[in-house]
């Protein structure tokens, strides 16, 4: 079964195709290979990234493949349309010093404490934004210093909590309980908003923008940058790539492989510093 987010994405992709066909007074099952090329050109011209273009193409190709299978059409107009080549850009990564600036501090008020705990949780676990938003109190295992994460495809894994994250949790949990009780919203949700309900993705991005300005961070600063930084720092400290794969919840090691390229920058610095012919005079 597909996740709800995947179903919504497929629906949006197909609605875009419907709009394209309607603009040309065409039925969905009347599109030709040339129409498929025009649709692909239109989404490229709209400035979508390669990943989004490929998702559009995968959605519509699957739709027409099913239509062909049930004999609604004679040929799939998208069958010969090639996927966009993905450029492998190296992810933005925070330095350890930059991370310390962000995760340090011991605020006493509820929402600043929630924000600092959230940053620490991202860096301690390397979790995705959706995984953090889905955290419940029952997912915490304070004795083992770990938290249960629900990743892509409803796959579950445990991630470890740093000593600092555990300390912040012990400060945060009583304040959280008092706050949700006051709002008459008793629940198992770990990270709550001003109404006492589950924090949303848009709220988290807004928090990140606020702290980026507040701390004067010049580089890209998002939840996923924390995930990139977690993986890169683990590899920089001699963690094996298989370990990082497990901690990140990647199904394939090829997805994790990009972080080894980031860590190659560290290898270059070590080489320049240590090799007799590589040292800077």
Active site residue 69: no
Q: How far apart are CA 6 and CA 11, in angstroms?
A: 9
Active site residue 66: no
From 146, 152, 167, 220, the catalytic residue: 152
At residue 148, the 3 state secondary structure works out as strand
Query: Pick the catalytic residue: 101, 224, 242, 269?
Result: 224
Element spanning 72, H or E: none
Q: Is 23 exposed, middle or buried (0-12, 13-18, 19+ CB in 10 A)?
A: exposed
Catalytic residue among 114, 176, 228, 250: 250
From the list 55, 114, 128, 176, the catalytic residue is 128
Establish how many alpha carbons lie within 13 A of residue 120's alpha carbon, considering only the half-sphere containing its beta carbon.
23
**Known catalytic membership, residue 61:** no
Active site (annotated) includes residue 128: yes
Is-catalytic flag, 228? Answer: no
Beta strands per DSSP E along the chain? 140-141, 146-150, 156-160
Kindly give the pairing relationship between strand 156-160 and strand 146-150: antiparallel
DSSP character for 105? -
Q: Is 233 a catalytic residue?
A: no
Nearest-angstrom CA–CA distance, 4 and 183: 29
How far is Cα of residue 253 from the mean position of the Cα atoms in its chain? 17
Burial class (CB in 10 A: 0-12, 13-18, 19+), 246: middle
Catalytic residue (one of 176, 227, 228, 233): 227
Which strand ranges, in their side-by-side order, compose the sheet holding 140-141?
A: 140-141, 146-150, 156-160
Residues forming the active site: 128, 152, 224, 227, 250, 259
């Amino acid at each position: 079964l597909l996740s709800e987010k995947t179903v919504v994405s497929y629906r949006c992709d197909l609605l875009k195709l419907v709009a394209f066909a309607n603009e040309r007074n065409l039925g969905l099952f009347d599109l030709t290979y040339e129409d498929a090329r025009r649709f692909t050109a239109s989404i490229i011209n709209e400035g979508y990234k390669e990943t989004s273009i490929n998702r559009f193409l995968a959605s519509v190709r699957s739709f027409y493949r099913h239509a062909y299978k049930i004999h609604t059409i004679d040929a799939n107009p998208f069958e010969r349309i090639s996927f966009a080549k993905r450029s492998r850009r190296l992810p933005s990564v925070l330095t350890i010093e930059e991370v310390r600036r962000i995760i340090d501090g011991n605020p006493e008020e509820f929402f600043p404490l929630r924000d600092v705990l959230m940053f620490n949780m991202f860096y301690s676990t390397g979790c995705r934004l959706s995984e953090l938003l889905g955290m419940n109190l029952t997912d915490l295992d304070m004795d083992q210093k770990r938290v249960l994460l629900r990743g892509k495809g409803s796959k579950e894994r445990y991630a470890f909590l740093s000593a600092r994250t555990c300390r912040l949790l012990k400060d945060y949990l009583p304040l959280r309980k008092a706050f949700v009780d006051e709002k008459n919203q008793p629940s198992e949700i770990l990270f709550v908003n001003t109404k006492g309900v589950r924090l949303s993705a848009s709220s988290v991005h807004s928090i990140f923008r606020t702290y980026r300005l507040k701390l004067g961070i010049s580089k890209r600063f998002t939840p996923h940058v924390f995930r990139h930084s977690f993986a890169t720092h683990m590899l920089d400290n001699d963690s094996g790539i298989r370990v990082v794969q497990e901690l990140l919840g990647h199904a394939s090691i090829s997805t994790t492989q990009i972080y080894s390229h980031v860590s190659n920058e560290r290898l270059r610095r070590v080489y320049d510093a240590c090799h007799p012919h590589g040292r800077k005079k």
